[in-house]
Amino acid sequence: MTQNEVPHLKLSVGHPPSSGASDFSILTTPPRSNGTLSQTGFPFRRATIPQKDEELSIRMMEMLNENQELRGNLQESTQAMKDAFAQIQKWKADSESSRKEMLNKCEASVQVVTRFKHMLQERDTQIAQLKLEIQQLKLDVITQDPVAINNELRQKNSELRGLRNHIEELELGSSHNKEQLDQMAVYKESLKKELQELRLNRDKINMEIATFKAEQEVHRRARIRAEESAQQLREQVDRLREENRIIRQHSSPGSSSAGSSAFVLVQGSPATDPKVASAMPNMQLDTTMADIDGRDPENSEEEREAWHLEKADLALKLDQKEKELSELRDQFHQVTAEMKQLQQENQEKCQHLHQQIGQLQHHLTDAKESQSHNSHQDITVLKSQVVSLMCEVSESQNKRQTIEQENQGLRERCSDLERKFSNLQRQLKTTRDEDDNLIQTLRHNVKTLEAKTQTQNNELDARSKGYEELHQTHSQLCKDYRDLYLKCEALKANAVAAPSQTSFEQEPSRDALMAKLLAASETLDTKKRLIHDLMREKTEMQSQIEMIPVHEAQLEVYKQDFETERRLKEDEQRTREDLAFQLRQVKAEKLQLQEQLSRSRGDPRLSSSPASYPGFPPPQRPQNYASQASHSSGVHEYSGRPGHFPYGHDMCDLSPRSASPFQGVTDRNVLQNTDATLENLRLQEENPIRMRAEYQDAKPPPDRSTTYECPKCKRVTSDLESLERHFVDCLDSDH
């Protein structure tokens, strides 16, 4: 409920058929006019307040407090729902980010598995190549002479030992190599510094070029402006010279008196003309220059030099005068611009003053018109407003029960929404825990896979290094084998050529060949062990390859879990959307009820009243009140009879069927009744505590057997509660 909403009031109607006066009980002041009756200066007649009015006024105060509490509870529940919706949106964003992160990790794990497969295939090909090479070496060893092979192997072993020692020395590093490396590092750092300095210099040069271009552009524009101003000054000087020439021609026909006549004409011109005043020194200089030019310079050299000097001085004076002329012209333009600006500001101020004077005159006329209203019309309008307010109270009492039922429905819906929200929170917590566990397991799997890949990469690097060493050893052995074979052939040839050589000389060669043969057998054993190790590693790789489907199955399980989680999240999103839709429906129903309440308080007859009583403003009506009041069923025109209710029987007829609430009452009784009602409201506003005390001391009114009629469908009921229920159903059927 908003602050502009007015709670519905309950009307207690009960009087016998023969009663001639109205027996309405007003529970509160009418909407949008609370507190205005106590501020009016209209002299109401004080009347006795019946106990029933005091009792109902206290009930009205209690109902107002209850409605305020309900309004506060509804606002709190609405705010809580908004906060819950914001939390749900935040959880949705977090879950979406976690889902994306999980997908990225799954893709990375799939890429790792594929990379492992490619690496295993490469290792299989390498193992096959090594097997072929080993078989080839076996064939070569079998076909060769064992003595030569033994000698060759001994030689190769010695060479290998030397190479190993050299490699160890290189790994440890000699002092000379360390010095070279240090020098290279220092040189590299110096090159980096030089490169950085060159880059800084390049940036500085680029900045200087940019500033130079900008300055060049500024100078070019300034030069263009200077050329334009110089051209304008030349044109002005030429124009002034032309004016001086025209003045000299019109002053006198003689050339000798041209300067004096021009001076006289300039002196005789008005001082207010700035052109003539500025042209006066120029004309004097022109006349002097003309006199100098008219002289005969052919007398002597001294006179000629004096003539030239005088002419140069006059030219300098002419330039100075032209400069002074330009400065005076600029000052004149500035003064004229300032004068124009001042005139414009004065005009704007005058217009503003005229507007203020017109507004004051308009307000004065409005005040005079408002004070010229007739007091009798104000009194009649006030009475009609009081009657309309009583009608509004009756209508609001009819709607109160419907609003209470709707509030109860809203409370139930809010409780349902709170239960659903708590369930959603629990589901959210469980899903979040499951997601956290799944993320932890995936992270652990990713870490294990990364560790395995690191170890396999290290093993592959070591194997590649060993393979390179074996390849180098094999090539060296082949080379040594060829050399030994050639030596053996040479020894055989020498043995054939020199058979008389002693066996003592052949004994060392025999021992060397046996040693080489033993070394070759040892090499074969080492290669067999290497092949065995490679086969064992191959089996391990195959076992790891066999584990790949297991990992794929795990990934499939993770994928299925993710799909189920996504479906659950979609279901939760749909439920949240349904809840939001229900919330919007509840809000729309609430707004519709507020609009119905505001429409039910309209009265087209008060809109045509000419004025209201001073100090008692009329109740504000919605814009569509007149159309709704005109379309309401059963509204009769004002009959004009004394004591007749001016807004018809259907607007507020909740009285017994036998008699109208104001039937048979004179104008005096109506005025007394309205005065008593207004006095009751004023006393209620002034001292509600005393009214509550009187209500506690008062006795309940006696029961009266009456019948009630629905203002819409004319259905008759025996009690007020059944009439209220029927009236709510009737209103719901219309909407």
* Three-class SS of 649-661: HHHHCCCCCCCCC
Nearest Cα to Cα of residue 437 among 558, 611, 316, 575: 558
Q: 267 pLDDT band (50/70/90 cuts)? A: very low
In degrees and rounded to multiples of 5, residue 381 shows phi and psi of -65, -40
Mean pLDDT, rounded, for 613-637: 41
Poorest-pLDDT segment among 38-47, 223-232, 709-718:
38-47
Percent of the chain with pLDDT over 70: 59
Whole-model pTM: value is 0.20
Characterise 734 by phi-psi region: left (phi > 0), alpha (psi -120 to 50), beta (else): alpha
**pLDDT at residue 614 in the model:** 37
Q: Residue 716 has what DSSP assignment?
A: E
Nearest Cα to Cα of residue 252 among 236, 270, 264, 235: 264
Map 326-368 to HEC letters. HHHHHHHHHHHHHHHHHHHHHHHHHHHHHHHHHHHHHHHHHHH
Percent of the chain with pLDDT over 90: 0
**pLDDT at residue 290 in the model:** 52
**pLDDT at residue 488 in the model:** 73
Mean pLDDT of the residues in the chain? 66
Which 3 state secondary structure label does DSSP give 269? coil
Alpha carbon 521 to its chain's center: 81
Task: Note the pLDDT tens digit of each residue in 147-171.
Answer: 776 777 777 777 777 777 766 766 5
Where does residue 32 rank: exposed (0-12), middle (13-18), buried (19+ CB within 10 A)? Answer: middle
Q: Residue 98 has which token pair?
A: 């976690």
Mean pLDDT, rounded, for 292-303: 54
Q: Would the pLDDT of 67 be above 50? A: yes
CA angle at 399 for the pair 393 and 403, rounded to the nearest 5°: 130
Q: Residue 376 has which token pair?
A: 């009798």
Give 577 or 247, the one with higher predicted confidence: 577
Where does residue 58 rank: exposed (0-12), middle (13-18), buried (19+ CB within 10 A)? Answer: buried
Mean pLDDT, rounded, for 327-344: 73
Task: Note the pLDDT tens digit of each residue in 530-560.
Answer: 888 888 888 888 788 888 878 778 778 888 8
Report whether 714 contacts 697 (CB < 8 A).
Answer: no
Helices 688-697/51-143 angle, 10° precision:
110
Where does residue 341 rank: exposed (0-12), middle (13-18), buried (19+ CB within 10 A)? Answer: exposed
Q: Would the pLDDT of 519 be above 70? A: yes
Q: Would the pLDDT of 569 be above 50? A: yes
Q: How are the residues of the chain apportioned to helix, strand and coil, as percentages rounded to the nearest 5?
A: 80, 0, 20
Characterise 145 by phi-psi region: left (phi > 0), alpha (psi -120 to 50), beta (else): beta
Task: Note the pLDDT tens digit of each residue in 665-690.
Answer: 334 444 444 455 455 555 554 444 44
Q: Would the pLDDT of 505 be above 60? A: no
In degrees and rounded to multiples of 5, residue 576 shows phi and psi of -65, -40
Mean pLDDT, rounded, for 126-134: 75
Mean pLDDT, rounded, for 62-79: 80
Mean pLDDT, rounded, for 38-55: 48
HSE-CB of 378 using CA atoms within 13 angstroms: 15
**pLDDT at residue 730 in the model:** 79
Q: Would the pLDDT of 575 be above 80? A: yes
Give 237 or 272, the one with higher predicted confidence: 237
Give 691 or 116, the one with higher predicted confidence: 116
Q: 705 pLDDT band (50/70/90 cuts)? A: low
Mean pLDDT, rounded, for 470-478: 75
Give 679 or 623, the one with higher predicted confidence: 679
Q: Residue 126 has which token pair?
A: 């390498």
Nearest Cα to Cα of residue 572 among 420, 412, 437: 420
**pLDDT at residue 438 in the model:** 79
**pLDDT at residue 146 in the model:** 66
Q: Would the pLDDT of 76 be above 70? A: yes
Poorest-pLDDT segment among 128-142, 286-300, 377-391, 565-579:
286-300
**pLDDT at residue 297 in the model:** 45
Distance between CA 154 and CA 148 in Å, rounded? 10
Helices 51-143/503-599 angle, 10° precision:
160
Nearest Cα to Cα of residue 633 among 713, 724, 540, 567: 713
Q: Who contacts 671 (Cβ-Cβ below 8 Å, separation ≥6)?
A: 383
